[in-house]
Structure formats: C-alpha cells, structure tokens
Amino acid sequence: MIHKKLILSLAALIFLGACAAPTAMLGPAYTLTSTGNVLQAGFSYGSSELVTYYTGKTPMENVIEMTSSDKDNIQKKTLESKDFKDLVKNRIKKTNSILKTSNQ
C-alpha cells in the first residue's frame, strides 16, 4: 500500500511539475516546516505573488535590481559628498580633543 502511494505521488509530481514554477512554493514550504504556522506561510506566498503581480518581477529580481543600480545609489552619493567628508573631519577633531583631555 505504501509503495502504491509513493509511486502515485512521484508520478503526479513528474507529470504536474511543469504546471507551476517549482520554486514558487519553496519559501512558504520552508516557512511552514520551520515554524509550523500555516498563516505565516500563506502570507509569505501571498505577498510574494502580490509583488510579482504589481511589479512584473519576482521579489528576488527586485532586490537584485535595487542593489545593482548605479544611477540611484544613494549610499555611494552620500559617502562621496562634501558634507559627509566635513562631518567626518569634525567628528575626528572632536574625538581627538576629547581623547587628549582625558589622557592629561
């Protein structure tokens, strides 16, 4: 009996495997097995589907696009700005003066 169920399950998996993206349920399946919370797994899957529906890209594609974009890299612009350099210089001077007074 167990062999029949196993064979039937494998056959269904093989024939129906192309009906949906195999990785679409990977995240929610991991969430379900690690936490045991069906609601949390459903929310994970639903939010992923909503992001894909509205943006046309998977959440991972959106993350890759946001991190690899050079034209809108705010962190790089901040580190290269004159205001940031002045702020760092002032902090270094202030810290040095504090250290000098505490060592005397």
pLDDT, residue 55, reads 85
Query: Terminal CA-to-CA distance of the chain, rounded, Å?
Result: 85
Q: With helix as H, strand as E and coil as C, how does 9-59 read?
A: HHHHHHHHHHHCCCCCCHHHHHHHHHHCCHHHHHHHHHHHHHHHHHHCCCH
Considering the domain architecture, whether residues 54 and 83 belong to the same structural domain is answered as: no
By residue range, what is the domain housing residue 79?
73-104
- Domain assignment present for residue 51? The answer is yes
pLDDT, residue 89, reads 92
Considering the domain architecture, whether residues 60 and 80 belong to the same structural domain is answered as: no
Considering the domain architecture, whether residues 29 and 64 belong to the same structural domain is answered as: yes
Section 43-70 average pLDDT: 80
CA atoms of 94 and 3, how far apart (whole Å): 75
pLDDT, residue 80, reads 82
Considering the domain architecture, whether residues 55 and 85 belong to the same structural domain is answered as: no
Which of residues 52 and 3 earns the better pLDDT score? 52
Mean pLDDT taken over the chain: 76
Considering the domain architecture, whether residues 57 and 91 belong to the same structural domain is answered as: no
pLDDT, residue 5, reads 76
Question: What is the reported pTM?
Answer: 0.39
How many structural domains compose the chain? 2
- Domain assignment present for residue 80? The answer is yes
